[in-house]
Amino acid sequence: MKILKIQFSDNISSKLPENIGNLQHLKKLHILNTYFKEFPKWIFKLKKLENLMLRGNEIDTIPPEIKLLKHLKHFRFENTNLNNTPIEIRELKKLETLSFADNFKLKNFNESIINGNLKMLALTPSSIERKVIDKLKKEYPNLKIGKRYFK
């Protein structure tokens, strides 16, 4: 299995089996509308993962172990309770797109996470000060910055 998309409705438990972390060939994982409060640690076992989307959950922190996902190219962490951006994201050398859209509790964006390969960054301006976004656009003219994830 190379692609797995999991979406919950409001009336279904959001407990996922940890053995999903054993899917060693998984390249794309989308987990939508869960009630997770913590980042699922089993995700870090998915060494070949290239595309990860966690959207619509209550997670407020991305653990430093995110750096273990060395093949990650696309990371969407949207509509969560995220309150800071971990520096370890910078170690994802293959990362091309990064989205923190609709994270209204995110007040500070650590621009040192931007690496040379990043081509697209999505931030919701209502949570990040406009002057920070303007500064990023000036410092990284080749980086496409928007409110939402786009291709």
Q: What is the CATH number of the domain that holds 8?
A: 3.80.10.10
Q: Is residue 52 part of a domain?
A: yes
Phi and psi at residue 21, to the nearest 5°: -65, -10
* Long-range contacts formed by 49-54: CB under 8 A, 24+ apart: 50/74, 50/94, 51/27, 52/28, 52/76, 53/29, 53/77, 53/78, 54/78, 54/80
Q: Is residue 51 part of a domain?
A: yes
Query: Per-residue pLDDT tens for 54-83?
Result: 999 999 999 999 999 999 999 999 999 999
Q: Is residue 34 part of a domain?
A: yes
Whether the pLDDT of residue 146 is over 80: the answer is yes
Quick one: what percent of the chain has pLDDT higher than 70? 85
Given pLDDT bands bounded at 50, 70 and 90, which one contains residue 1? low
Q: Is residue 40 part of a domain?
A: yes
Q: Is residue 118 part of a domain?
A: yes
Whether the pLDDT of residue 25 is over 90: the answer is no
Quick one: what percent of the chain has pLDDT higher than 90? 53
Q: Is residue 126 part of a domain?
A: yes
Whether the pLDDT of residue 52 is over 90: the answer is yes
- Which of 4-8, 22-26, 83-87 is predicted least confidently? 4-8
Whether the pLDDT of residue 129 is over 80: the answer is no
Given pLDDT bands bounded at 50, 70 and 90, which one contains residue 108? confident
Domain that holds residue 58: 3-146
Q: Is residue 151 part of a domain?
A: no
Phi and psi at residue 121, to the nearest 5°: -135, 125
**Helix H segments across the chain?**
130-139
Q: Is residue 81 part of a domain?
A: yes
pLDDT at 150: 60
Helix/strand/coil for 99: strand
The residue type found at 133 is: I
Given pLDDT bands bounded at 50, 70 and 90, which one contains residue 11? very low
How many structural domains comprise the chain? 1
Whether the pLDDT of residue 86 is over 80: the answer is yes
Average pLDDT (24-28) is 89
